[in-house]
Amino acid sequence: MRPLIIAIDGYSSCGKSTLARQLASALQYKYIDSGAMYRAITYELLRRKINLDDLAAIREVLKDIHLDFKYDPSSGRSVILLNGEDVEQAIRSWEVSEAVSQVAAIPEVREFAVAQQRRMGKQRGIVMDGRDIGTVVFPDADVKIFMTADVKIRAQRRWKELQPLHPEISLAEVEKNLLERDRLDTQRAVSPLRKAADAFVIDNSHLTEPQQLQMAMDYVQKIMHNLPIEKTTIS
């Protein structure tokens, strides 16, 4: 059986990365966090103090960017490398979160990132999460999962993540940020966030991590073994 390409898409703070990491670990596949790629690009633009409306300057910066992932044995997770530098923590800042959807909507940035994502997926045996993995990056992916959750629950999860580093951020600010990111992600002209017609939907508003992993694994196993899939499991 040849290794699969598994695409996981969905809204911000739906736990896509958590599920993708756990699924990759269970299957012994490589995990690729496409969201981290856009965050790394955003981080580099902000670090260089590039005006995000200056497309010429952004194109020049993209020429200098190389992205890759490495396995960190201390945490058991893959971390993103920006020109060889581990920026996994730096890209999770509030400043990057506020700007990443704007950057990800730039056609040149998406073209750059998609090319790198496809390069990484050539050997198959991967789990990649993002906004357009099952619709644009790998429209022929063997498995497509679309994740969603109530925005208030997503905001609560994200707020708890931010508290240790940004205790001044309010829950209301986080929810406002998520709603704006949803708007930008779904309405952008290039590769908008949408559910692939053949995607398996997981609403994890009230699911535990083990429950959502089990749902995903059950679905992947059916695909692997060509078992029938009930129409009611696909939304």
Q: Write out the binding residues.
A: 10-18
Query: Which residues does the annotation place in the binding site for ATP?
Result: 10-18
Read off φ and ψ for residue 227, nearest 5 degrees.
-85, 155
Q: Residue type at 39?
A: R
How far apart are the C-alpha atoms of 194 and 171, rounded to whole Å?
26
From the list 130, 116, 104, the residue with the least C-alpha distance to 190 is: 104
Q: Which alpha helices (DSSP H) does the chain contain, by range? A: 16-27, 34-47, 55-63, 94-104, 107-121, 151-162, 171-187, 209-224
Spatial strand order in the sheet of 77-82: 67-72, 77-82, 85-86
d(CA 21, CA 174): 24
Lookup: tokens for 132: 């357009």
In whole angstroms, give the CA distance from residue 163 to residue 159. 6
